[in-house]
Structure formats: structure tokens, C-alpha cells
């Protein structure tokens, strides 16, 4: 039965559990993203904000080209990319389904330069385009709510669903305290992220120094 609810990870071909439609993921992401922006302060540092958006757009363009080259452009339908820098001491960043990317200012001292930031953003964007959040959300719904659809869970157990959502994305969680993705998914994001950043014109060797830091 679960095999019927499996899909293929774009580009790698790995089978993943998929109980949640892209449409539901995107619409829920938009609600959660808007709420997050209301509750958190955007950075007033113009140079750093522009840096985040410049890197984000270069990675986005690389992703678009890479998917087109592999005849998978349809997998990006519904993405409405956006890049924001949040004032926070947290060493964190994430990308929700649909391309909503948030970088916390606390990670910039660790990224140090544009290449380091490209490592982070390409990795987080890779999670989104590989639909890891859908897979993780599906696993959580199956484990905690008996496989209910996202729409039913939102309607019948909104608080519990919100908690699952925040756990899936690691929103507000210190990097290293909670891993919202499995090691398999992290490896996939590392692999794809290196490809995306290289296509965007960044040296993927810079990833080694970043992860050491």
C-alpha cells in the first residue's frame, strides 16, 4: 500500500514516501512563511540582504537550467522564489517548498564570504527541489497521525500539524540541536547543492572549509 504513495526524487531517482501533494505543500508553506515574517525582523543591513538575494538568485538560475537540461522543468511548477535575511543570532537557514528561503544573520560569520553562503543556500534549496520536506512531512503524518492527509490534519489537529511542520523545517531550531532531515536526505542535498553552486559559478571546494567551520 505504501508503495502506491511513493514518488521519485527528481534527478536522483530514489523512491520517497509522498502522502502530500505539491499544491498542499506550497499553500501551507506560504501561510507558514508569511506568519514567520510577521513574527521575525528582517535585517536592515542592506549589503548583507543584497548578498543573500544575489546568491539566492544565482543558485535559483542554476537550478532552473539544471532541471531544464534534465527535462524536469515541470518539477519546478509553482515555485515562487523569495530570499530574505532575518536578524537572529541563530546559525541557521532553510528553504520551504515553493522556494521561500530564509537565512539567519547568525550564520554569516560562519559562511564568511559569498562562496560560503552559496554552500548553505544551495544545500537548503536542494532539500526543497528534491522534495525532502514532502517526504519528511509524509513520514511524520504517517507516524503521528496515522497517515492522514495534510488537509485533514490541518483541519482536525491544527496545533499538532503546526508542530510537525516546524519540526520538519527546523524553524527556530538551533543548527546541530535537531536534524530535520535524515542523513540520506542530507547527503542528497549535499550532492545536489554542490552541483547547483558550481553551475552558479561558485567553487564547490569552498564547501569543505565551510563545513569544517
Residue 124 a catalytic site member = yes
Q: Angle, nearest 10°, between helix axes 132-145 and 183-199?
A: 160
How far apart are alpha carbons 181 and 168 in whole angstroms? 7
pLDDT average, residue stretch 138-156? 62
Which residues have CB under 8 Å from 52's CB, separation 6+? 83, 84, 85, 103, 117, 121
Phi, psi of 175 (to 5 degrees): -60, 130
Given the residues 124, 135, 186, 188, select the one marked as catalytic: 124
Helix (H) or strand (E) holding 117: helix 114-129
Which pLDDT score is estimated for 156? 64
Mean pLDDT value across the chain:
82
- Whether residue 9 is predicted with pLDDT greater than 80 in this model: the reply is no
> Residue 77: is it exposed, middle or buried by C-beta count within 10 angstroms (0-12/13-18/19+)?
exposed
User: What percent of the chain has a predicted confidence (pLDDT) above 90?
Assistant: 53
DSSP for residue 42: B
Which pLDDT score is estimated for 29? 81
Q: Residue 76 half-sphere exposure, CB side, CA atoms within 13 Å?
A: 21
Which pLDDT score is estimated for 130? 87
Amino acid at each position: 500500500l505504501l508503495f502506491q504513495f511513493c514518488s521519485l526524487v527528481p534527478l536522483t531517482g530514489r523512491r520517497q514516501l509522498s502522502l502530500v501533494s505539491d499544491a498542499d505543500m506550497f499553500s501551507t508553506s506560504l501561510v507558514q512563511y508569511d506568519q514567520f515574517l510577521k513574527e521575525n525582523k528582517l535585517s536592515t543591513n542592506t549589503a548583507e540582504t543584497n548578498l543573500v538575494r544575489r546568491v539566492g538568485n544565482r543558485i535559483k538560475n542554476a537550478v532552473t537550467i539544471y532541471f531544464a537540461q534534465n527535462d524536469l522543468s515541470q518539477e519546478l511548477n509553482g515555485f515562487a522564489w523569495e530570499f530574505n535575511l532575518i536578524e537572529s543570532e541563530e546559525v541557521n537557514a532553510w528553504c520551504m517548498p515553493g522556494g521561500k528561503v530564509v537565512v539567519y544573520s547568525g550564520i554569516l560569520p560562519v559562511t564568511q564570504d559569498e562562496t560560503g553562503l552559496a554552500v548553505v543556500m544551495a544545500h537548503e534549496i536542494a532539500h526543497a527541489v528534491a522534495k525532502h520536506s514532502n517526504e519528511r512531512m509524509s513520514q511524520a503524518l504517517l507516524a503521528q497521525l496515522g497517515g492522514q492527509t495534510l488537509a485533514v490534519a490541518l483541519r482536525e489537529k491544527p496545533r499538532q500539524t503546526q508542530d510537525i511542520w516546524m519540526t520538519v523545517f527546523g524553524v527556530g531550531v538551533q543548527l546541530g540541536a535537531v536534524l530535520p532531515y535524515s542523513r540520506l536526505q542530507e547527503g542528497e542535498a549535499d550532492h545536489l547543492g554542490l552541483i547547483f553552486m558550481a553551475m552558479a559559478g561558485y567553487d564547490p571546494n569552498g564547501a569543505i572549509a565551510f563545513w569544517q567551520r
